[in-house]
Structure 1
Amino acid sequence: MAEVAAGERKGRKILVAVDEGEESGYALRWCLNNIVNQDSKDALVLLFAKPPRPVYSALDGSGYLFSADILETMERYSNEVADQVMEKAKNSCAGLNDDIKVETKVVNGDPRDVICQVAERLNVDLVVMGSHGYGLIKRAFLGSVSNHCAQNLKCPVLIVKKPKSHD
């Protein structure tokens, strides 16, 4: 293991899960304001998990068959969403000093699996993610990505909850 020279700080690798929701944008901004040290050599990995397209079979009885044009349109839309999410996340990081490296990753798959796999593969020091604040019933049906990651990752997971606005 390489030794760090006296006085030199080793930066942390922080993965921030982003999606199209306000909660992940808030979590990223909170991380930038409270976790990332402007005097550090921290590295941020902005990760968007692009959900897989649903698979429809002619045998499933639904009667849905999609033409190649429709499938291409769905894929193009999915790519546009990913591009917009990543552009917004990168813009949030615009004021960081040059020593802080910002990397973006778009990975296809279920967000639960993608976040855990990328965090483990990159050996990150911390995962930051927003909480959608689902109630018990919604969480039972939809599952909780943040809960899954907190239970399955070996590194710390910081779940940032967006405060309710007082309008």
Structure 2
Amino acid sequence: MSEFKKILVPVDFSDNSRKILSSAADLAQVFGAELSVVFVVQSFDDYSGFFVPHVPIAQFEEEMVRSAEDKMSSFIKESLPADTAVQTRVLAGDVAETIVEHAARTGIDLIVMGTHGYKGLERVLFGSVAEKVIKTARCPVLSINPYR
């Protein structure tokens, strides 16, 4: 079995990601690994040709990042015991690509993430972040179904 010294957990601040984070924290404790939690603000660069927002896109993304940083702080406090060592980051970009790039750049050994279980039209419209990460990550990815 590989040694996992750095575990990355992408979250979306949902109750399901709280469950995934708890499982990842347990794994980190078992392996004596560092726990890193990220939230990715979806970049709107790809959509800028479809609509003209009232606020410049860059300014809107900056506000989203600031808001997510505040949310990350409260999410971690509510989700993990106070003595849990954890690093947090809020990033912006394509969600799956940004997770994979961040993992490679920071030497992550394992990504632990949930599945949302989209089916049918939802899956066509939204795709699967977990599936894209599993297919493109350079490290192992543990995918957990939070509904079970």
Scaled to the shorter chain, the TM-score interval is 0.7 to 0.9
How many pairs align?
Answer: 145
Q: CA RMSD in A?
A: 2.8
The secondary structure found in structure 2 opposite 1:80 is: helix
1:79 counterpart = 2:66: yes
Instruction: Return the index of the structure with the highest Cα Rg.
Output: 1
1:48 counterpart = 2:39: yes
1:19 counterpart = 2:6: no
Instruction: Return the alpha-carbon distance in structure 1 between the equivalents of residues 23 and 117 of structure 2.
Output: 16
Instruction: Return the alpha-carbon distance in structure 2 between the equivalents of residues 18 and 145 of structure 1.
Output: 11
Residues 63-95 of structure 1 show CA distances to partners (whole Å, capped at 9, x for unaligned) of: x45256x97567435521342134312542334
TM-score normalized by the length of structure 1: 0.72
Identify if the C-alpha distance between structure 1 residues 77 and 12 changes in structure 2 by more than 3 Å, giving closer, same or farther: closer
Equivalent residue in structure 2 for 1:92, among 72, 79, 86 = 79
Instruction: Return the alpha-carbon distance in structure 1 between the equivalents of residues 4 and 114 of structure 2.
Output: 23
TM-score normalized by the length of structure 2: 0.80
Mind listing any 5+ residue stretches in structure 2 that lack a counterpart?
A: none
Percent sequence identity over aligned pairs: 27
The secondary structure found in structure 2 opposite 1:159 is: strand
Richer in helix (by share): 2
Instruction: Return the alpha-carbon distance in structure 2 between the equivalents of residues 152 and 22 of structure 1.
Output: 26
Identify if the C-alpha distance between structure 1 residues 43 and 74 changes in structure 2 by more than 3 Å, giving closer, same or farther: closer
Shift of 1:120: 0.8
